[in-house]
Structure 1
Amino acid sequence: MTDPDWLIVRRGGAPLVLGMPHTGTDIPADLAPRFVSLWRARKDADWWIDRLYAFAADMDATIVRTTLSRSVIDVNRDPSGASLYPGQTTTELCPTTTFDGEPLYLPGQEPGEAEIAERRDRWLTPYHTALTAELARLRDQHGRVVLYDCHSIRSHVPRLFEGELPQFNIGTNNGATCDSVLERAVEHACAATGLSLVLNGRFRGGYTTRHHGGPEAGIHAIQMELACRGYLDEPTSPDETNWPTPWHPARAAPLAAHLRDILTACLDWKTA
């Protein structure tokens, strides 16, 4: 069975799987007229993350990513719609606002329960089915596998967090989703860069990390939320004229080199 055209799976042999749930910007033609603007519907993508981690293919990592905009459905949310961060502001399974609180849909065009269920079955379930299959394949081959979930967000989003976000935000759901030695190895690799970091701060791991991470079953999951300033220039006030900032390989190269070291630490833990 071939993967659908919105789901891209690069199968590798190393015990490392990269999840990329928010790199997509595609919006189905039948949904596009219902959004306030297509720019707004794409605003909160994890911009250029697939390019930033392109080197992972050279490490023979498996990469699972979707080309679909998170505004259609966020495949890193609990399919039940339950919040993973009770008491904190977040966006829904099928978001109705941007991170900044702007409405995504024209009045009366928001998806209802039946449509949300249809989107979940059409997109979220296949994404996680693919991840499950790749993790099982590599776990059976190697005995254990690392799931590294790739994310990024603007450094300043007052509605979601105060102040400036650290460069590296490591999430293991307070240590529940991976071996403690792996957690420390990733934390140490981040610290070695000299850039700011936090472990299990504002972003402790989304649905992908929490659902698939099972150290007792040989699957060790870590979420990495990057502040965008590490690899692109962020505008003070993003709008249609200045966001996203274009991809520049030279601008991103220093952070990409650090990320290679972080993924190497994941593989070294596996082979230690």
Structure 2
Amino acid sequence: MTEFEGEFSPPFEIAEPAVWRAPIIFNSPHSGSVYPHAFLNASRIDLEALQRSEDSFMDELILHLLHQGFPVARVHFPRSYIDVNREPYELDPRMFHGRLPSFANTRSMRVAGGLGTIPRVVGDGQEIYRERIPIDEALGRIETLYKPYHRALRQLVNRAHQTYGAVILVDCHSMPSVGIARDEPRRPDIVIGDRYGTSCAALISGVVEETMAARGYSVGRNKPYAGGFITEHYGNPASGLHTVQVELNRAIYMDERLRQRSDRFGVVAEDFSVLAEALAAIPLADLGPFQAAAE
């Protein structure tokens, strides 16, 4: 048993409606906010600093979609503890006591930035741990939290795909309103991440952009967020598997300093309802699977 399992159960939830409105799944992998005591004790920074890495309240913005007939997945453990939007073994050897598995990816850009599967830093660059942690502890988090989450999500995606022939996974995130880099331009209200057109049909990204722009949002694509492991790993448009990341500017729905929902929270939740219905209106025949064109 990991320190986390002893403090909270379940570590994640996947809720399905009695009747599916369409093969569209909404996922919030970074809104977890339950912090194990041992983790807090091992951290050199306080809870408030750790919470700045959360996609705070993102799961609440989409949870009501369950009542409209859309499955919703959300994670309860914080991304600063283990990040399910990474490869399973993106690990920084400088963080651990003990030998890493030979198959660990220690050289990815995300590891170099301190944001691997077990993050070394929070989003604004602050180091998390006072000292190295045992590699067995890290591997335990992967086995008991990361892998069960992805196994359950993959089963849900595959079941929808088999039933309908196509599926759309909407990976929901939030971003700070201001970037760390001083020269970064003002962030739009929403950033659509489709791995530069490789994780979903262009039609889907277009529906997201048109729907949200019509609701008054400024919309960008793939910069500064093109989508992480989930978008890349679950998206295979040629087979009818589509994944799109929707990154929402936190200033739209919350007070970032106080970490409180703003007066617009309910409006934003309603806008996600409109988006869900717009995606559900896409004909399944337009979502594949697609045959390769003959040469």
TM bucket (normalised to shorter chain) is 0.7 to 0.9
Length, aligned pairs only: 258
Contact 2:166 2:284 in 1 (8 A): no
59-68 vs 77-86, greater mean Cα deviation: 77-86
Q: Structure 1 CA distance, aligned partners of 2:160 and 2:238?
A: 15
Q: Take 2:171 and 2:48, find their aligned partners in 1: how far apart are those partners?
A: 25
Query: 2:209 matched to 1:204?
Result: no
Which of 53, 64, 73 is the matching residue for 1:44? 53
Q: In structure 1, what is the equivalent of residue 268 of structure 2?
A: 255
Residue 6 of structure 1 aligns with an amino acid whose one-letter code is P
TM-score by length of 2: 0.80
2:22 is equivalent to residue 18 of structure 1: no
Query: 1:9 maps to which residue?
Result: 14
Confirm or deny: 8 A CA contact 2:200 2:241 kept in the other structure: yes
Question: Is the Cα contact below 8 Å between 2:191 and 2:248 reproduced in 1?
Answer: yes
* Separation of aligned partners in 1, 2:182 and 2:10: 32
Structure 1 residues 88 and 56: alpha-carbon distance in aligned structure 2, compared to 1, 3 A threshold: farther
2:255 touches 2:261 (CA, 8 Å); kept in 1? no
Could you tell me how far apart the structure 2 residues matched to 1:112 and 1:184 are?
Answer: 46
Contact 2:16 2:66 in 1 (8 A): no
TM-score of the two chains, using structure 1 as the length reference: 0.86
The letter of the residue matching 1:39 is: E
Counterpart of 1:58 in 2: which secondary structure? helix
**Rg (Cα) greater in structure:** 2
Percent identity for Structure 1 against Structure 2: 27
1:91 to partner: Cα distance: 1.9
Residues 44-193 of structure 1 aligned to structure 2 (within 5 Å): 44-81=53-90, 89=113, 91-106=115-130, 108=131, 110-159=132-181, 162-193=184-215
Structure 1 pair 84–54 and aligned structure 2 pair: CA distance change class (3 A): farther
Q: Does 1:269 align with 2:279?
A: no
Which sections of structure 2, spanning at least 5 residues, go unmatched?
Answer: 1-8, 91-104, 286-295
SS in structure 1 at match of 2:26: strand
* Contact 2:62 2:72 (C-alpha < 8 Å) held by counterparts: no
Alignment root-mean-square deviation, CA? 2.3
Give the conservation status (yes or no) of the 8 Å contact 2:63–2:72: no
